[in-house]
Amino acid sequence: MLANNGHEVTVFVYDKASKDTVIKSDSYRIVRFSPNQTFTKGYLGYSTQISYEYATVIKRYIEKEGAPDIIESQEYLGIAYYLLQFKWLGYEWIKNVPVVITAHSPAFLYLPHNHISTYKYPLFWIGEMERFCLQAADFVISPTQFLLDQINKDISINAPASVLANPFKPAISKEIVPEMGFSEEIVLLGKLSAQKGTFITLKNMEEAWKTRPNITLRLIGDQKIVYHPLGKTMADIVKSRYAQQISTGQLVLDAKIPPTQFIRKIGKAAMVIVPSTIDNLPYVVLEMMAMGKIVLASKQGGQSEIITHGMNGFLFDHEVEGDFIKQVLYIMTLADDQKRQIIENAQQLIHSRYSPTEIYRKKIRLLSQVKERQHLSTVFPLIRSKGEVVNYSGDEEKKGLLSIIITFYNSGEYLDGVLKNLSQVDYKEVEIIIVDDGSTDSDSLRRLAALIPGDTLKIIRHSNRGLAASRNEGARIAKGEFIAFLDADDLVKPDYYSKAISVLKKFRNIQFVGAWTRYFGKSNGIWPTFNPEPPIILYHNTINSAGIVFRRSAYLLSNGNDEQMPVKGLEDYDMIISMISNNMYGVVLPEALFEYRVRYNSMVRGITDYQKQLLTEYIRSKHQIIYSKYGVELLNLISQNGQSFKIDNPSLDYDFADKIPFGGKLAIRAASFVKRNKFLRPIAYKIYRLFN
């Protein structure tokens, strides 16, 4: 549609079988790219990795060719999540490009209608990515008011939004649609699933067959969808439950067919039914109305905005008992001239309201408005909260100054390394504060004594009081507007602090910034962290809380690290919960800018599972108000995914990994590999059926 009106259009499509191919036409091109270019599949779940790959490929094209006028994406599975994260976090290549989200079918709305728990990882996280896309868009287009209303029941969308249908061009011209007869056959055209109304329709037909046994129900569509509560395909379930009706011919199951076969397969059907329990703008309604079929659709979806009951089709209400059968029987009593009038009305509607010409006229006006809007927001788009704007008038702070607080205890062997590392950071307004927590090691004391304090280096010593006390002491004496904690054995990338402070300066509702973590020393790998928002952050940590950059005033207002925890450990995680409890939010830079040294004798590795449970109980009891607010969500997350201290990455499929005969991270990688491979997925399903 856009290309036909003179616009240059590039469509990006991930293709696991492709090694970056470009299909060009006069005014559009299709870029098929391999979703394995960044090596993030080693630590990101499948859908999350796909989102990161989209952002990476688009970045490469923008840097090569320049920025487009507009980027448009769907919200489904969060494919624009990282694109929007990079945009809002101020990355140069994308920060000034308007991003429009056209709502499609959010998993967080649709999965419950397929009787799938949205709290199981990674599904809950995918829902959070979708929600962020809707919140962070410059503009949201919804094909129907129904979908927009359903989304707003879940979250209140921050972005401006408008209803605009997708364009539709009939595959068959209404002038060549043949004259069609009428029978007692009903066709349900679409994949077999609970959401598409398969189960509820069959239940209704059981009643209809009691009085009208000659009615035939033909199901045409993909039969391989797995119904998760039973772990079986929809075809297996339907064939088992309705074997008798299949044998008598009352029920017919046909595989999915292309549009070119519609006339041959369903030309003489009395009606096509669309009994979805939720839907956006189902194209089958547009296709069938344009083709000259009478359509009976549920009111539970955007299809109710297409059909005017009795005028160009028919509607029934799932919530009204017997309404489906009532409408089916009524349609079958219509005279031929009544049917033909309804068909004519339907075809006229589709060819006028949904034509590419009409939709283009409306869409280009919307896109022009989006392009003209200057993005000047100083409020970062959080999913469920606006976040607090901190106005603190405490100790005198030097605006723009970063105070880096190094917590030090017998860490002499790492001191030269961390100071050299900090000398390379590209943010220059820095003071370094070393807080010695009562070191006893002679080498450590000697190295500290060799340092010369001054305006940009302070050394504080106190008796051994623990990590929390050292951080708090450093924060109290710091003069910077911003503070960053750094253990003496950890490191940062040169641009970490400058990028973090840029975010803090821009957004009044953001009080701390973290980044992905790269492990080194006795281990390697990357921990991809995520914006710490409830309910996930209340379930487990999602940010490199030991090495983030704070707005100092917000840290002090939240009372700093807890020095009274029952055992040492998780002080930094508790700090994050304290800030969230006070409506002070943070974000994550989606790149590995923080480097965490893994040591066998580190404090974190010494914490037992029992101690982690004890600390988790302490944190939840301490912050009862916010935990109570999200109590139901947290109970569901724990029920579906297990104990929180065993989870640190919501994008991974821990449940699938648990079913692999070997455990640990290798199982998670194996699970990820199977889910990415279209040949292994059906084999895995058969194995699953054997053991479940």
CATH, residue 150:
3.40.50.2000
pLDDT tens column, 288-321: 999 999 999 999 999 999 999 999 999 999 999 9
Overall average pLDDT of the 19-41 stretch: 89
Check residue 605 and give its pLDDT.
Answer: 61
Q: Looking at per-residue confidence, does 552 or 659 come out higher?
A: 552
Distance CA 215, CA 241 (A): 18
Reply yes or no on whether the pLDDT at 508 is more than 60.
yes
Q: Which H helix or E strand runs over 474?
A: helix 467-477
380 and 461 Cβ atoms separated by less than 8 Å: no
Same structural domain, 98 and 179: no
Same structural domain, 218 and 348: yes
Mean pLDDT, rounded, of the chain:
91
Same structural domain, 288 and 202: yes
Instruction: Read off the tokens for 216.
Output: 């035939």
The residues, ordered by sequence, that sit 6+ positions from 605 with a Cβ below 8 Å of its Cβ are: 598, 599
In the chain, the amino acid numbered 489 is D
Q: How far is CA 441 from CA 417, 465, 563, in A?
A: 18, 16, 24
In the chain, the amino acid numbered 581 is S
Overall average pLDDT of the 594-610 stretch: 79
Same structural domain, 551 and 406: yes
Query: Exposure of 167 by Cβ count < 10 A (0-12 exposed, 13-18 middle, 19+ buried)?
Result: middle
Q: Which domain holds residue 414?
A: 398-608
Distance CA 687, CA 692 (A): 9
Same structural domain, 268 and 330: yes
The SS3 of residue 594 is: strand
Of the listed ranges 36-45, 77-86, 616-625, the least confidently predicted one is 36-45
**Sheet architecture: strand order including 216-220:** 251-254, 216-220, 185-189, 271-274, 295-298, 314-316
The residues, ordered by sequence, that sit 6+ positions from 674 with a Cβ below 8 Å of its Cβ are: 656, 680, 681, 684
CATH number of residue 532's parent domain: 3.90.550.10
Q: Which residue has the tokens 């408008």?
A: 162
Confidence bin at 669 (pLDDT 50/70/90): low
Check residue 645 and give its pLDDT.
Answer: 85
Confidence bin at 178 (pLDDT 50/70/90): very low
Reply yes or no on whether the pLDDT at 599 is more than 70.
yes
Q: Where are the strands (E) in 381-479, listed by range?
A: 398-408, 430-437, 457-462
* Helix (H) and strand (E) counts in the chain: 26, 24
Give how many domains the chain has, as a whole number: 4
122: preceding bond cis by omega (within 30 degrees): yes
Q: Looking at per-residue confidence, does 648 or 376 come out higher?
A: 648
Same structural domain, 153 and 181: no
The SS3 of residue 189 is: strand
Q: Where are the strands (E) in 348-445, listed by range?
A: 398-408, 430-437
Same structural domain, 424 and 535: yes
In a domain, 412, yes or no: yes
Q: Looking at per-residue confidence, does 533 or 386 come out higher?
A: 533
Check residue 660 and give its pLDDT.
Answer: 44
Overall average pLDDT of the 130-142 stretch: 97
Query: Exposure of 133 by Cβ count < 10 A (0-12 exposed, 13-18 middle, 19+ buried)?
Result: buried
In the chain, the amino acid numbered 572 is D
Overall average pLDDT of the 596-609 stretch: 76
pTM given for the model: 0.92
Per-residue buried b or exposed e for 306-330, using 16+ beta carbons within 10 Å of the residue's own CB? bbeeeebbbbbebeeeebbbebbee
Same structural domain, 531 and 663: no
Distance CA 673, CA 20 (A): 21
In a domain, 222, yes or no: yes
Reply yes or no on whether the pLDDT at 600 is more than 90.
no
Residue 586 backbone dihedrals phi, psi, to 5 degrees: -135, 170
Reply yes or no on whether the pLDDT at 661 is more than 60.
no
Same structural domain, 142 and 206: no
Check residue 671 and give its pLDDT.
Answer: 58
In a domain, 363, yes or no: no
Bridge partners for 338 per DSSP: none
60 and 91 Cβ atoms separated by less than 8 Å: no
In a domain, 636, yes or no: no
Q: Looking at per-residue confidence, does 567 or 174 come out higher?
A: 567
Same structural domain, 157 and 179: no
Share of the chain above pLDDT 90, in %: 80
In a domain, 365, yes or no: no
pLDDT tens column, 236-256: 999 999 999 999 999 999 998
Reply yes or no on whether the pLDDT at 501 is more than 70.
yes
Reply yes or no on whether the pLDDT at 170 is more than 60.
yes
Overall average pLDDT of the 380-385 stretch: 95
Confidence bin at 389 (pLDDT 50/70/90): confident
Sign of CA dihedral 73, 75, 81, 86: positive
Overall average pLDDT of the 54-77 stretch: 97
Instruction: Read off the tokens for 99.
Output: 């991003």
Distance CA 51, CA 80 (A): 6
Per-residue buried b or exposed e for 31-65, using 16+ beta carbons within 10 Å of the residue's own CB? bbbebeeeebbebbbbbbbbbbbbbbbbbebbeee
Cα angle value 363/364/366 (rounded, 5°): 65
Reply yes or no on whether the pLDDT at 456 is more than 60.
yes
Q: Is 313 left (phi over 0), alpha (psi -120 to 50) or beta?
A: left
In a domain, 313, yes or no: yes
- Closest-CA residue to 256 (of 189, 171, 170): 189
Check residue 60 and give its pLDDT.
Answer: 96
Overall average pLDDT of the 343-362 stretch: 96
592 and 516 Cβ atoms separated by less than 8 Å: yes
Q: Of the residues 541, 574, 608, which one is the last residue of a structural domain?
A: 608
Same structural domain, 184 and 326: yes
Instruction: Read off the tokens for 119.
Output: 């709290």
In a domain, 362, yes or no: no
In a domain, 536, yes or no: yes
In the chain, the amino acid numbered 336 is D
Confidence bin at 625 (pLDDT 50/70/90): very high
Check residue 17 and give its pLDDT.
Answer: 78
346 and 289 Cβ atoms separated by less than 8 Å: yes
pLDDT tens column, 1-12: 999 999 999 999
Distance CA 101, CA 158 (A): 13
Q: Is 519 left (phi over 0), alpha (psi -120 to 50) or beta?
A: beta
pLDDT tens column, 417-444: 999 999 999 999 999 999 999 999 999 9
Same structural domain, 190 and 318: yes
Q: Of the residues 142, 163, 184, which one is the last residue of a structural domain?
A: 163
Q: Of the residues 163, 182, 216, which one is the last residue of a structural domain?
A: 163
480 and 486 Cβ atoms separated by less than 8 Å: no
- Closest-CA residue to 214 (of 323, 329, 316): 329
Reply yes or no on whether the pLDDT at 59 is more than 80.
yes
Overall average pLDDT of the 336-343 stretch: 95
Check residue 655 and give its pLDDT.
Answer: 74
Check residue 5 and give its pLDDT.
Answer: 93
